[in-house]
Amino acid sequence: MSTDPALLVRVTGLSKTYGSTVALSGLDLTLQRGRILGLLGPNGAGKTTAIHILMGLLTPGSGQVRVLGMDPGRERHRIAERMNFASAYVQLPSNLKVYENLNVFAGLYGVRDARRKVEELLELFGVAELSGRLTGSLSSGEKTRVNLVKCLLNDPELLLLDEPTASLDPEMADHVRTTLRRIQRERGIGILYTSHNMPEVEELCDSIVFLHQGLKIAEGPPREVLARYGTRDLDELFIKIVRKEHGSAGGGS
Amino acid sequence: MNASLRRIGAVVLRYAYLHKRSLPRVFEIVFWPVMELLVWGFVSVYVRSLSADPAVRIAVFLIGAMIFWDILYRSQQGVSIAVIEDVWTQNIVNVLVSPLRIWEWLTATFIYGFLKTCVITAILWALAYGLYRFDLADAMGLYLVPLAANLFLFGWALGVFTSALVIRWGHAAEALIWGIPFLVQPLSAIYYPLSTLPEWLRPFALLLPSTHVFEGMREVLATGRMASASLWASFGMNLVAFAAASMVFRFLYGQAKNTGRLGRLGLD
Ligand SMILES: Nc1ncnc2c1ncn2[C@@H]1O[C@H](COP(=O)(O)OP(=O)(O)O)[C@@H](O)[C@H]1O
Ligand SMILES: [Mg+2]
């Protein structure tokens, strides 16, 4: 067992099936402190499945999972204190005001001096004026930024972001990425970032893992992966990989 | 422990925020029990007019039973509505991946339900006194405390059970939240004595902690006292009910974690 403190996530041979659907098949993955790892792949590739297993929200089929050196199946709560999560598909209650929601989560994460922390983070994401608004009345760009504020309340060492920019227009997505980059640099947070948006991952991530139908197809720094496949950008690589897979599996199951 | 209290406090705060602003919500909490009290109150007035015999105590039984039933029902609702609220708002995954423990979550929802129920009971008490000269405290004396405590406990156990159904089946289980308490209603001998039930049903009725409470309530109203054995029986059965509900919760929660339903709660 590795005790390397720089290793935030270590996954070996992780598999998960839902009934007859194979969601993950023998996945290996590591994330170093202060790095951004892009988990990318088409819809249904198994990205959310992997994230849910890391959070202890889903029981793995087989394989070994270590998050912050601990097993999420046994020590979910201790991991949760040092980690956080956001997704475009998970909302804060729409019928509470922004600061109310953030106060509640500050309490859940045991944040000291919650009021100051909330103000500081709202400021950082440029949404301080939303504090008194009902969460349900925000635009999707504003919601995403408030979700990210919630994510940073506990000064996490590890962030799991499941398609956080999925519902944003390109300009807003760019703004969010820039802020994330900055935070990651300043605070040395490790981020696992899932997306099917290629340019986004190319710009943001130190390295990528490309998943397709639960299998890891490619991995490495974006440039290296592109060079290996002889494609100009990840969009082209994405199409190439997905088409090839379908082509070769065409006659089979 | 201190950290636990903070997290429980945070969940209670979440529901407090919800009510702070939402007038329709506050109205809804009070509306149904008050209407129910009016109906049973007037039924009792009518029943009293049918018989001049002071030994006929059915009139007070009905009002007392209604208020007691409401304690049980609200206590169950408090827990399961709180849980489904997070499913409705698609917030549940945020909660489930936070450091909040399940037992802390359920404790917080119980506290929320308890506070809500206390407010409603106080209102019903005042109304019953004002309109029908029925004084709950005077009629029940100190027995009010253990009897109500048993109702709260059983409500909590039922709430944990129905919440487990929500965890497993999501929105589809919504109808069960409202329905399950009414499943125990006929057996609990709320508005009529246990002796009204067919003989073969009575042993099953006595397996419910609520039956002992309602039998006890009528005994106190009629004689001013009740057998403490019934109180203990009720308490013991509550412990069993709570243990059973927790086991069901654990089982269905584990199943939802296995099948991936847990992470998709609120999304379908
Ligand atoms: N709870 C579930 N039950 C059954 N199948 C599921 C469940 N969750 C995901 N799947 C299936 O598993 C595969 C991977 O899903 P997911 O991890 O959500 O992919 P991604 O996040 O990459 O889009 C898909 O085929 C999806 O339909
Ligand atoms: Mg997904």
**Please, what are the averages of pLDDT over each run of 10 residues along chain B (268 residues)?**
91 90 76 86 83 68 91 92 89 96 95 92 92 88 95 96 93 88 92 93 95 94 90 96 97 96 86
Task: Give the ligand at the shortest distance from the Cα of A50.
Answer: 1
* DSSP string for B223-267: HS---HHHHHHHHHHHHHHHHHHHHHHHHHHHHHHHHTTGGGTT-
pLDDT for position B46: 84
The answer to whether residues A210 and A219 touch, using CB atoms and an 8 Å cutoff, is yes
Closest partner residue to A93 among B9, B91, B101, by Cβ? B91
Task: Give the ligand at the shortest distance from the Cα of B261.
Answer: 1
Please count the structural domains in chain B. Answer: 1
Q: B139 lies in which domain range?
A: 2-264
* Backbone phi, psi, residue A195, to 5°: -170, 155
- List of residues 6+ apart from B202 with CB closer than 8 A: B194, B195
Residues of chain A contacting residue B3, judged by C-beta atoms under 8 Å apart: 110
Q: What is the pTM of this model?
A: 0.91
Q: Does A176 touch chain B (CB under 8 A)?
A: no
Q: Does A47 touch chain B (CB under 8 A)?
A: no
Q: Which of B91, B93, B98 should one mutate to test binding to chain A, selecting the residue with the greatest count of A CBs within 10 A?
A: B98
Residue A3 has pLDDT above 80, yes or no: no
Residue A97 has pLDDT above 90, yes or no: yes
Residue A192 has pLDDT above 90, yes or no: yes
Half-sphere exposure at residue A217, Cβ-oriented, CA atoms within 13 angstroms: 24
E-strand ranges in chain B read none
Q: Strands A83-87, A190-195: parallel, antiparallel or unpaired by DSSP?
A: unpaired
Tokens of A52: 């849910």
Distances (CA, A) of B190 to A155, B61, B187: 53, 9, 8
* For A136, nearest residue in chain B (alpha carbons): B89
ipTM for the predicted complex comes to 0.91
3-state secondary structure of B198: coil
User: Per the CB < 8 Å rule, is A90 touching B259?
Assistant: no
pLDDT for position A252: 35
For the residues A116-140, what does the mean pLDDT come to?
A: 94
pLDDT for position B52: 67
pLDDT for position B55: 54
CA distance B182 to chain A (A): 30
Residues of chain A contacting residue B260, judged by C-beta atoms under 8 Å apart: 18, 23, 49, 52, 58
pLDDT for position A6: 78
The answer to whether residues A154 and A111 touch, using CB atoms and an 8 Å cutoff, is yes
CA distance B88 to chain A (A): 9
Closest partner residue to B96 among A57, A59, A93, by Cβ? A57
